[in-house]
Structure 1
Amino acid sequence: MLPYQLRAVDQELDELLGGLPAISLEGPKGVGKTATAQRRAATVFAMDDATQRELLTADPQRLDRAPAPVLIDEWQREPAVWDFVRRSVDRNPAPARFLLTGSATPTSAPTHSGAGRIVQLRMRPMSIAERALAEPTVSLRKLLTGQRLAVSGSAALSLVDYAEEIVRSGFPAIRQLPPRARRAQLDGYLNRIVERDFPEQGHLVRRPDTLRGWLAAYAAATATTSSYNAILDAATPGETNKPAKTTTTVYRDVLSQLWLLDPVPGWLPSRSAFSRLGAAPKHHLADPALAARLLGVDVPALLDDSAPDTPVRRPGPLLGALFESLVTLSVRVYAQAAEATVHHLRTWDSRHEVDLIIQRADQRIVALEVKLSPSVSDDDVRHLTWLRGQLGDDLLDAAVITTGSEAYRRADGIAVIPLCLLEP
Structure 2
Amino acid sequence: MPAETQRRMHLNAFLMNAGHHDAAWRHPRTQPERVTDLCYFADLARTAERGKLDSIFFADGLVLGGTVQHNALGGFEPLTLLAALATATERIGLIATVSTTFNEPFPTARKFASLDHISGGRAGWNIVTSGSVAEARNFGRDDHLEHSLRYERAREFVDVATKLWDSWEDDAVLLDKKSGVFADTAKVRRIDHQGTHFDVQGPLNVPRSPQGYPLLVQAGSSEAGKEFAARYAEAVFTAQQTPADGHAFYNDLKSRLGRYGRDEGEVKILPGICPVIGPTEAEARTLEKELTDLQVPEYGLAQLSTMLGTDLTGLPLDGPLPELPEERDINGNKSRFTLVAELARRDGLTLRELIARLGGGRGHRVFAGTPEQIADTLEEWFTQGAADGFNVMPPHLPGGLEDFVDHVVPILQRRGLFRTEYTGHTLREHYRLPCPANRLTTAPVGA
For Structure 1 versus Structure 2, the TM-score category normalised by the shorter chain is 0.3 to 0.5
TM-score (norm 2): 0.32
- Larger RCO (CA under 8 A, 6+ residues apart): 2
TM-score (norm 1): 0.33
